[in-house]
Amino acid sequence: MSGTGGGFVRRIGLFQATAINMSQMCGIGPFVTIPLMVAAFGGPQAVVGFVAGAVLALADGLIWAELGASLPGAGGSYVYLRQAFQYRSGKLMPFLFVWTAMLFIPLIMSTGVVGLVQYLGYLWHGMSQTQGDLVGLGVIALVVGLLWRGVEHIARITAVMWCVMIASVVLVIAAAFSHFDPGQAFTYPAHAFDLGSGQFWTGFAAGLTIGIYDYLGYNTAAYMGAEIKDPGRTLPRAIVASILGIMGIYLLLQIGTLGVVDWHQMLDPNSVASQSVASAVLEETWGKTAANVVTVLILITAFASVFAGLLGGSRVPYDAARERVFFRPYGTLHPRHRFPVLGLATMGVVTAVGFLIGRHTDLATLIQLLTTVMVIVQALAQVLAVTVLRRRQPTLRRPYRMWLYPLPSVVALVGWLVIYGYADKNSPGRHPIEWSLAWVAAGCVAFVLWARAEKVWPFGPKEISEEYVEEGAGGDPGAAGPAGTRGGAASV
């Protein structure tokens, strides 16, 4: 469906949406977090972390699937929280989400750039800290430059990078299983699965956090709901397919790596296995030349992940600005290429700042800090949003309804609470829970000041808009939000 009236255009189909999700999910993440996962569990039983992360991702993905299919607007969570919580708290929840997303989305992208520079060190021996910093900043500038164009061109670029991503992980998996040692992969330390041990559950919580970080990205296409063809069918399929596909890849990658590289080496911060574990697998099996080639492919994969993440994330503030829930300049699209200019530019800058911070801190701690902020404002709120919308908007058209409702919501709720509750314990001295609460509190203060200036609730009347219910009555599950509605989420 083509867009008119200056809004987004629906040009992204199922394959492209799945590729966008998978490119974001399987970036540099598993290649840098396998040693972190082994350290969390204290042995090759670390595979449990990837399985647990997949279960949480699938449960949460079904929440995204129902919300994305029913409310296919630009901004993803912003649209869902706006529709669900407008009845009691006005625009507070969508405001807080945008406030937080403008921080956590680009900071997650910054971890990908940190990993890219880390792997580049395998090829560039003796790379200094300053040189690595400059390379990372150059990569971010290149990503923003490539995104500064029409979405139809971006979709083609993403499809190509998705193929490179698949090639890189397939080669690492093939190399690992060509010299696979089952005894090494499946020999566990004593009491590795002692469920009565507090150490196991502490490691499990840390592993779950790392695991869900590796799966993050299954929702990227949902942020682009106003640009997805037939979103009622495309988004649920893209979300589920990307999670199941990446789950298979991660398990093969983790098990294969443990069958080639001694897990004790991954605990040595000065070893190749701890810094570039995939390169270590290739060097051990197919030799140095093959390791160099695959390392280049991994660098491209990391680049693709950052590319896809900023592509989806830059759409987040657009709908909020059009709804007068965020700074109004963020509601402006490029006059020719129809992408949100200020959202992309801002997230590019924050990614650069986060990259520089991440270069001088522990990656596991940075992941912990990022996930706590995301959990409290986005993940837990969306678990509640599904139930609230089923009660508040029973006539809303739902092309997809969550399987086994409410079981996935319960599983997701427990998983996110485990991650949040163990955050401080897994990051001694960093206080991620306190930082996340402080950020939300600052957002509440900002909302009060903004609401007073805009004269909206609590300083004015609540504005209730059920535009997707009105759309649903029309019966086109693939249509965008109605043209000319107050939200302007997806004018067509």
pLDDT, one tens digit per residue, over 300-346 is 888 887 887 787 778 778 777 777 887 778 888 877 767 788 888 99
Q: Which two tokens stand for residue 284?
A: 């051990």
User: Contact 213/367 with Cβ under 8 angstroms?
Assistant: yes
CA distance 278 to 255: 12
Count CB-CB contacts under 10 A for residue 139: 23
How much is the pLDDT for 22? 85
Check the CA dihedral 409-28-371-15 and report its sign.
negative
| pLDDT value of position 147 | 84
Q: Give ∠ CA 242-244-245 in degrees, rounded to 5.
A: 65
Please list the ranges in the chain whose pLDDT falls under 70: 1-7, 149-155, 157-158, 337, 362, 424-430, 470-492
In angstroms, the Cα distances linking 240 to 230, 332, 374, 462 are 16, 32, 21, 36
Distance CA 180, CA 256 (A): 7
Give the N- to C-terminal CA distance of the chain in Å, as an integer. Answer: 8
Q: How far is CA 410 from CA 14, 81, 239, 428, 465, in A?
A: 28, 18, 19, 29, 28
* 491/338 Cα distance (integer angstroms): 12
Cα 176 to Cα 153: distance, rounded to the nearest angstrom: 35
Nearest Cα to Cα of residue 27 among 412, 304, 316, 391: 304
Which pLDDT value is given to residue 356? 87
pTM: 0.82
**Single-letter amino acid code for the residue at 122:** Y
List for the chain the helix, strand, coil content (%; round to 5): 70, 0, 25
Mapped onto helix, strand or coil, the DSSP state of residue 189 is coil
